[in-house]
Amino acid sequence: MVDSARYAPDGTRSIGRLVGSADVPLVILMVEMATALDDLDALLAVDGLDGIYVGPGDLSLSLGLSGDEHRGEFREVLSSIIARAVAAGVPVGVHAYSGEDARAYADEGATLVTVAVDTVTLGDAMSRHLDLARERGGS
């Protein structure tokens, strides 16, 4: 499976290496579907895998755990994924929606954490500014 992402002699990938592409591309599996959890231990054991990366938005939808009412339950799923990857010695990345979540993932052993989404961060900042402007103006 990994050989299709690697250039010769280690793999079967195209001629990219001959035309200036990176010699050693990273092979990182996205964990975004419920079925990935069923197969996670087998995926973590794939020879040549450089890491996994969890997309929590898609994964929560796939598991039927989206929304604030499922936050705690879904957080347990994320913690389990991180723990399984750490135990397997496979680097794990997680997309976070806040600095607080990012710190928690890193504390659990995630090695690559995106800290926030630009649209969420900008929306939060704009809301704070609008609240301050309305408060000051009495509106």
Render pLDDT for 77-109 as a digit per residue (tens, 0 to 9): 999 999 999 999 999 999 998 889 999 999 999
pTM for this one?
Answer: 0.75
Render pLDDT for 12-54 as a digit per residue (tens, 0 to 9): 766 655 555 556 678 899 999 999 999 999 999 999 899 999 9
pLDDT top residue among 55 and 121: 55
Residue 127 domain-assigned (yes or no): yes
Residue 116 binned pLDDT confidence (cut-offs 50, 70, 90): confident
Q: Find the mean pLDDT for residues 59-73.
A: 94
CATH code of the domain covering residue 81: 3.20.20.60
For 4-17, the DSSP string reads GGS-TTT----GGG
Range of the domain at 73: 26-137
Residue 37 domain-assigned (yes or no): yes
Q: Find the mean pLDDT for residues 46-69.
A: 93
Q: In Å, what is the CA distance from 92 to each residue of 8, 109, 124?
A: 26, 8, 28
pLDDT of residue 37: 93
Residue 76 domain-assigned (yes or no): yes
Token pair of 106 as six digits = 């890193």
pLDDT top residue among 139 and 116: 116
Residue 16 domain-assigned (yes or no): no
Residue 15 domain-assigned (yes or no): no
pLDDT of residue 112: 92
Cα separation of 56 and 105, whole Å?
Answer: 12
Q: Which of 132, 92, 129, 130 is nearest to 111 (CA)?
A: 92
pLDDT of residue 19: 55
pLDDT of residue 7: 67
Residue 105 domain-assigned (yes or no): yes
Token pair of 93 as six digits = 């990345």
